[in-house]
Amino acid sequence: MTATLDDKVEWIKQRKYLEMLHKQVQPNEGLSAMSIPRGTIHMGSCEAFSQIFNKYPETPIFIYLHAEWCAPCHTVGPIFDKLTQKYAGQVFFLDADVDQCKDIMTRFQVMGVPSFLVFHRWTEKYRLTGAQTFSSLDALVQKALALMPVRS
């Protein structure tokens, strides 16, 4: 199968992003809120998810799975964007179009979109599926923040 130009560009973007992550937090270095990227990171493969999980084991990871053809996703997308602005630097926000990275649906056993998953220490802690309100997603982020270790 020949890779398209878009596939190659996406691969390069992911590689550059992963290089940036590698430079941001070195092994055995304490994780501070400043080291969590702000905004949403758009992912295209499970490999990229795995590298982020390994790099940020103590940070809650909030994943938004969506599809271009999904009408509720178009409604929820702007709500998700508001959450990423409100909690920038506190929670690691990822999103993925399930049609561009089908392996993600299988790996996380997602049956429908939109889906919102919260992971901490490689374990799924919470999941919501279907159209959600700002308050329901905000409550989910609050649960994610409660997973953070207490700093003294």
Domains, in order of start, for the chain: 38-146 (3.40.30.10)
pLDDT of 18 over the 80 cut: no
Q: What is the pTM of this model?
A: 0.75
The count of C-alpha atoms lying within 13 angstroms of the C-alpha of 21, restricted to the half-sphere facing its C-beta, is 20
What's the mean pLDDT in 87-107? 89
Query: 32-41 pLDDT, tens per residue?
Result: 444 788 888 8
- Indicate left, alpha or beta for 66 from its phi (over 0: left) and psi (-120 to 50: alpha): beta
Using the Cα atoms of residue 111, residue 116, residue 59 and residue 145 in order, give the sign of their dihedral: negative
Residue 17 has pLDDT above 70, yes or no: no
- Provide the pLDDT confidence category of residue 147 given band limits of 50, 70 and 90: confident
pLDDT of residue 19: 58
The more confident residue out of 29 and 126 is: 126
